[in-house]
């Protein structure tokens, strides 16, 4: 898509954000940005807002730093990036500490995505990519022990009761366990420990082993670009349907290195990634044609990204059904989605003490039909 066409159909501000991403991945030149900025009256507050939505503020700062833009605007980006760098440093130190503490207790974890990914793909600079949580991989058998250690370290988790009482259901239904703590500087440290990469609604035939190799947890060598390419296809694509420009920049940077083949289950997502990269980031055209569903999906995501529309949790889940490959897949996914809707979660398990997991299906129904306060008294008595 031409930048002018994006500007006319949407706004010059979102076109500017897209153009900065293109410059960063070298599919556009800085001169194009200079000309574009001169030709359009830009609301820089909007540019900042859109960059924040797309989680590409460090990219915009890097690109705009060499461009003639108002000093206060650049200052706003700079301040954010300074804060991000400082927070990234703190998180790096805390991640190393937690890994060490867990290692001393015989719990093997391995950092991935976030900081580790940024170091590999963004030229070693951990302040170049926006991120929030620290992600680690773990063997599901070590989750109960992990919960004990993290709690002792002062971290809070709303899922501990669920894990303690129904560990098998937890592992079957949840892909991770999350812990949070305020840093001494008042910022929130969040750790997500993943025992598998895909959520409940996703194809479970592809796990960490299929993506990264048999000894993915114990291997001392850092993950390669190829391993991350597969992992991010699953994470950004199959799981999140490319929610922002950052996810596409990640994929573009990875694919520029010349990646080999991906597992069969990820081919459609890879094709979707290529289509989006071509439309939004002016990436190379894909060698193979995409099916109609992939094209419709690409159109929908492009529209959401250019109109800076936040996807609700439900829309994200619905996309799994909407963009299934075939009618039978759609039906299967719809059934899975229904199961997901009924599936109890930590809110139900923390809210009421029942002796069987099956009874929590009922508890969830009661909670979900709890229109303002209707069943509040019932629950408070239980």
Partner 1 sequence: MTQHDIVHRNEKQFMISNLGNEIVLMDIQQGHYINVNPVGSVIWNKLAVPIMVKDLIHSLVEEYGVSTAQCEDDTLKFLQKLQQHHMLNVQ
Among residues 127, 243, 283, 344, which is the contact residue for partner 1, using CB under 8 A?
Answer: 127
Residues 6+ apart with CB under 8 A from 348: 360, 363, 364, 367
Instruction: State yes or no: residue 128 binds partner 1 (CB under 8 A).
Output: yes
Residues 207-246 that bind partner 1 (CB under 8 A): none
**Which residue from 271, 272, 346 is spatially nearest to 302, judged by alpha carbons?**
272
**Residue whose CB is less far from partner 1, 92 or 330:** 92
**Residue whose CB is less far from partner 1, 62 or 113:** 62
Residues 6+ apart with CB under 8 A from 37: 16, 67, 68, 69
For 107, 113, 196, 318, the CA distances from 70, given in Å and listed in that order, are 51, 34, 46, 42
**Which residue from 302, 274, 295 is spatially nearest to 286, judged by alpha carbons?**
274
Minimum CB distance to partner 1, residue 118 (Å): 10
CB 317 within 8 A of CB 334: no
**Which residue from 170, 153, 174 is spatially nearest to 161, judged by alpha carbons?**
170
Among residues 32, 34, 45, 65, which is the contact residue for partner 1, using CB under 8 A?
Answer: 65
**Residue whose CB is less far from partner 1, 54 or 62:** 62
Minimum CB distance to partner 1, residue 94 (Å): 11
Instruction: State yes or no: residue 182 binds partner 1 (CB under 8 A).
Output: no
Residue-wise DSSP of 127-188:
TSS---SEEEEE-GGGHHHHHHHHHHTT-B-TTHHHHHH-HHHHHHH-SEEEEEEE-TTSPE
Instruction: State yes or no: residue 93 binds partner 1 (CB under 8 A).
Output: yes
Instruction: State yes or no: residue 253 binds partner 1 (CB under 8 A).
Output: no
Instruction: State yes or no: residue 92 binds partner 1 (CB under 8 A).
Output: yes
Among residues 24, 50, 53, 61, which is the contact residue for partner 1, using CB under 8 A?
Answer: 61
Provide the pairing of β-strand 188-194 with 134-138.
parallel
Instruction: Give the per-residue contact string, 71-90, with partner 1 (x = CB under 8 A; - = no).
Output: -------x--xx--xx-xx-
**Residue whose CB is less far from partner 1, 123 or 373:** 123
Among residues 4, 34, 125, 203, which is the contact residue for partner 1, using CB under 8 A?
Answer: 125
Instruction: State yes or no: residue 53 binds partner 1 (CB under 8 A).
Output: no
Phi–psi pair at 124, nearest 5 degrees: 80, 0
**Contact set with partner 1 (CB under 8 A):** 61-62, 65, 78, 81-82, 85-86, 88-89, 92-93, 125-128
């Amino acid at each position: 898509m031409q930048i002018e066409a994006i500007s006319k159909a949407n706004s010059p501000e979102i076109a500017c954000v897209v153009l900065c991403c293109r410059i960063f991945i070298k599919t556009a030149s800085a001169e194009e940005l200079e000309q574009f900025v001169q030709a359009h009256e830009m609301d820089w507050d909007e540019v900042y807002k859109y960059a924040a939505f797309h989680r590409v503020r460090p990219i915009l700062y890097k690109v705009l730093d060499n461009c003639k833009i108002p000093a206060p605007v650049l200052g706003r980006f700079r301040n954010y990036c300074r804060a991000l760098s400082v927070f990234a440093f703190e998180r790096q130190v805390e991640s190393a500490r937690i890994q060490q503490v867990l290692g001393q207790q015989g719990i093997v974890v391995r950092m991935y995505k976030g900081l580790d990914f940024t170091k590999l793909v963004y030229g070693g600079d951990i302040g170049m990519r926006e991120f929030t949580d620290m992600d680690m991989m773990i063997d599901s058998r070590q989750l109960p022990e992990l919960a004990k250690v993290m709690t002792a370290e002062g971290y809070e988790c709303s899922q501990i009761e669920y894990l303690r009482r129904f560990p098998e259901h937890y592992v079957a239904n949840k892909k991770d366990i999350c812990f949070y703590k305020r840093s001494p500087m008042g910022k929130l440290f969040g750790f997500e420990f993943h025992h598998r990469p895909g959520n409940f609604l996703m194809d479970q035939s592809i796990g960490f082993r299929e993506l990264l190799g048999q000894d993915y947890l114990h291997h001392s060598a850092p993950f390669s670009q190829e391993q991350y390419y597969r992992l991010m296809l699953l994470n950004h694509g199959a799981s999140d349907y490319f929610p922002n420009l950052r996810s596409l920049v990640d994929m573009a940077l990875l694919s520029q290195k010349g990646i080999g083949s991906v597992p069969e289950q990820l081919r459609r997502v890879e094709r979707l990634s290529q289509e989006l990269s071509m439309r939004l980031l002016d990436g190379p055209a894909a060698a193979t044609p995409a099916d109609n569903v992939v094209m419709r999906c690409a159109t929908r995501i492009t529209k959401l990204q250019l109109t800076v529309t936040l996807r609700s949790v439900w829309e994200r889940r619905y996309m799994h059904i909407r963009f299934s490959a075939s009618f039978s897949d759609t039906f299967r996914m719809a059934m899975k989605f229904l199961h997901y809707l009924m599936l109890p979660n930590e809110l139900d398990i923390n809210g009421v003490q029942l002796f069987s997991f099956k009874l929590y299906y009922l508890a969830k129904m009661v909670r979900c039909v709890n229109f303002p306060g209707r069943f509040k008294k019932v629950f408070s008595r239980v």
